Amino acid sequence: MPKRGKKYQDSLKLVDRSRLYDLNEAIELVQKTAVANFDETIELAVRLGVDPRHADQQVRGTVVLPHGTGRTERILVFAKGDKLKEAQDAGADYAGGEELVQKIQQENWFEFDVVVATPDMMGVVGRIGRVLGPKGLMPNPKAGTVTFDVAQAVEEIKAGKVEYRVDKAAIINVPIGKKSFGSEKLTDNLKALMSAIIKSKPASAKGRYLRSVTLASTMGPGIRINGSKLMD
């Protein structure tokens, strides 16, 4: 395992790894440990008491963070007719159809972060599913990215809509903002995300739902939060 740098080691000394911090303490501490010379992203990692191998224990959804993520998402919309203009008027960075599929296939073009498609364009989009899927870019109705209401989808993504989805290890990782947001905005975003995750608890999930909740900056150590208090 590579040796961590001095800044990380100094930040690690500020964290009691055996302790579960209250939310406010964790928010303050994660900002203190974000000492890189750029505006670090603050990310939340939640390990759930579910078995993702079972379809009825999948945890997935979307939530609009009150203060966004601090990142401007580049949105590509696959649409045609009136929906094409609707997407452009709403602020989509790119919008089109067959020509964009060819651009991706022929030029390996991926200058976008989110893909939205109208249902009638999914046959076209499906042709590049093998390259969009592994990058997490394939539109999905559950994520609200397959819809005829493209204007609303674009506006919500631009406003800070994020998707949360449990992985094979039963962990959800989602950015909740930047260090520069300050404590109040980071707390609002974290609470909005946790509320959505808690509401998404599958009926078939048994035992403790929130196994661990950890906050960390891009270059900083993990800070464990007392998850039981977040369930109140």
Q: What is the pLDDT of residues 87-141, one digit of tens each?
A: 999 999 999 999 999 999 999 999 999 999 999 999 999 999 999 999 989 999 9
**DSSP H stretches of helix in 13-72:** 23-32
Query: Interior CA angle at 176 toward 166 and 207, to 5°?
Result: 35
Strands of 223-225's sheet, edge to edge? 171-178, 41-48, 210-217, 223-225
Quote the crossing angle between the two packed helices 23-32 and 183-199, to the nearest 10°.
130
Domain boundaries along the sequence of the chain: 6-69+160-225, 75-159
**Architecture (CATH level 2) of domain 75-159:** 3-Layer(aba) Sandwich (3.40)
**Can you tell me the mean pLDDT for 215-232?**
89
Query: Which of 141, 205, 33, 163 minimizes the C-alpha distance to 125?
Result: 141
Q: Assess whether the region 6-69+160-225 and the region 75-159 belong to the same CATH fold.
A: no
- Whether the pLDDT of residue 1 is over 60: the answer is no
Query: Which of 200, 193, 156 minimizes the C-alpha distance to 176?
Result: 193
Q: What is the pLDDT of residues 127-175, one digit of tens each?
A: 999 999 999 899 999 889 999 999 999 999 999 999 999 999 999 999 9
What is the predicted pLDDT for the residue at 17? Answer: 87
- Three-state secondary structure call for residue 197: helix
> What percentage of the chain has pLDDT greater than the value 70?
98
At 201, the pLDDT band (50, 70, 90 cuts) reads very high
- Three-state secondary structure call for residue 138: coil
What is the predicted pLDDT for the residue at 232? Answer: 64
**In angstroms, how far is CA 157 from the centroid of its own chain?**
11
Query: Which of 209, 227, 175 minimizes the C-alpha distance to 30?
Result: 175
What is the predicted pLDDT for the residue at 2? Answer: 54
At the topology level, CATH places domain 6-69+160-225 in Ribulose 1,5 Bisphosphate Carboxylase/Oxygenase (3.30.190)
Q: How far apart are CA 196 and CA 61, in angstroms?
A: 8
Higher pLDDT, 8 or 189: 189
